[in-house]
């Protein structure tokens, strides 16, 4: 049986990742479907498309972590690391560390839950 603390942390991570996903969807819709008010908008570069795709994969991983914590956490974390390789400037924005921290916490909660189940048997 899961402890109350694990349940609270798990639901906190789910709410946090849900907020990230909704925020990303708003940003994605704004960036892809609405043209800027200045008429000289350039098309997205290949690098920007790759970064957007990687963030989408990361958000998908956070969504998958609701059901499969280990798999979703690894997908989200790996996509964020690759994003950091594609665009090293993201490491300068400490607020962005919340995304991989959430993925890491999903993995940690999975490990704690697995250990708790093994110890109860």
Task: Tell me whether residue 24 is in a domain.
Answer: yes
**Where in the sequence is the domain holding 64, given as residue range(s)?**
4-33+53-120
Task: Tell me whether residue 40 is in a domain.
Answer: no
Task: Tell me whether residue 85 is in a domain.
Answer: yes
DSSP state of 88: G
Distance, in Å, from the CA atom of 22 to the CA atom of 120, rounded to the nearest integer, reads 37
| Nearest alpha carbon to residue 7 among 109, 114, 116, 115 | 109
pLDDT tens for residues 35-82?
Answer: 666 656 677 789 988 998 999 999 999 999 999 999 999 999 999 999
pTM: 0.84
pLDDT score, position 38: 62
Distance, in Å, from the CA atom of 121 to the CA atom of 109, rounded to the nearest integer, reads 19
CB 31 within 8 A of CB 52: yes
Count CA atoms within 13 Å of residue 109 on its CB side: 27
Structural domains in the chain (count): 1
Task: Tell me whether residue 47 is in a domain.
Answer: no
């Amino acid at each position: 049986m899961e402890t109350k603390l694990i349940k609270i942390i798990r639901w906190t991570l789910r709410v946090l990742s849900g907020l990230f996903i909704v925020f990303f969807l708003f940003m994605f819709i704004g960036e892809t479907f609405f043209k800027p008010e200045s008429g000289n908008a350039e098309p997205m570069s290949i690098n920007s498309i790759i970064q957007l795709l990687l963030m989408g994969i990361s958000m998908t991983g956070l969504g998958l972590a609701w059901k499969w914590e280990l798999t979703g956490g690894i997908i989200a974390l790996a996509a964020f690391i690759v994003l950091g390789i594609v665009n090293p400037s993201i490491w300068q924005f400490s607020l962005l560390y919340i995304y991989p921290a959430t993925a890491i916490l999903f993995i940690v909660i999975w490990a704690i839950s697995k250990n708790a189940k093994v110890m109860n048997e």
